[in-house]
């Protein structure tokens, strides 16, 4: 079993839809959590950090549940430009960075 697991998708949604991605991690010593997006043949780009209190950045909302070792990302009012692979990232031991394999999202007109 992988340390960070994501549904690979793909998720195919129409513009304007709300879509939710989930991620689970197995190591309870994990300390920091992020969502990145990666476009085809490009480098990962930071989308947002994830906090237990939940955080929101425009149309994006991230949530962390430490008890269940679960991270989520909600995208509201999807745009065509949101089409990408979304990567769940967990850091433990101060630096050991574990990337999920990613969830692919296709937003169609």
Partner 1 sequence: GAGVSQSPSNKVTEKGKDVELRCDPISGHTALYWYRQSLGQGLEFLIYFQGNSAPDKSGLPSDRFSAERTGGSVSTLTIQRTQQEDSAVYLCASSLGAGNQPQHFGDGTRLSIL
DSSP state of 54: -
In terms of Cβ atoms closer than 10 Å to its own Cβ (0-12, 13-18, 19+), residue 55 is middle
Query: Is residue 46 near partner 1 by the rule CB under 8 A?
Result: yes
Q: How far apart are CA 64 and CA 23, in angstroms?
A: 10
Query: Is residue 95 near partner 1 by the rule CB under 8 A?
Result: yes
* Choices 14-22, 42-50, 54-62, 63-71 (CB under 8 A): range interacting with partner 1: 42-50
Residue whose CB is less far from partner 1, 24 or 44? 44
Contacts of 67 (CB under 8 A, 6+ apart): none
* Choices 12-20, 26-34, 59-67, 68-76 (CB under 8 A): range interacting with partner 1: 26-34
Residues at the interface with partner 1 (CB under 8 A): 31-32, 34, 42-46, 49, 87, 91, 94-102
């Amino acid at each position: 079993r992988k340390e960070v697991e994501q549904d690979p998708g793909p998720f195919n949604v129409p513009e304007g839809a709300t879509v939710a991605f989930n991620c689970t991690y197995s190591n309870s010593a994990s300390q920091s959590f992020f969502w990145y997006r990666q476009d085809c043949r490009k480098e990962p780009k930071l989308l947002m950090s994830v906090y237990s209190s939940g955080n929101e950045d425009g149309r994006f909302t991230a949530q962390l549940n430490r008890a269940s070792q679960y991270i989520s990302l909600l995208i509201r009012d999807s745009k065509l430009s949101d089409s990408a692979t979304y990567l769940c990232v967990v850091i433990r031991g101060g630096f050991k960075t574990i990337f999920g394999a990613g969830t692919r999202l296709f937003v169609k007109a």
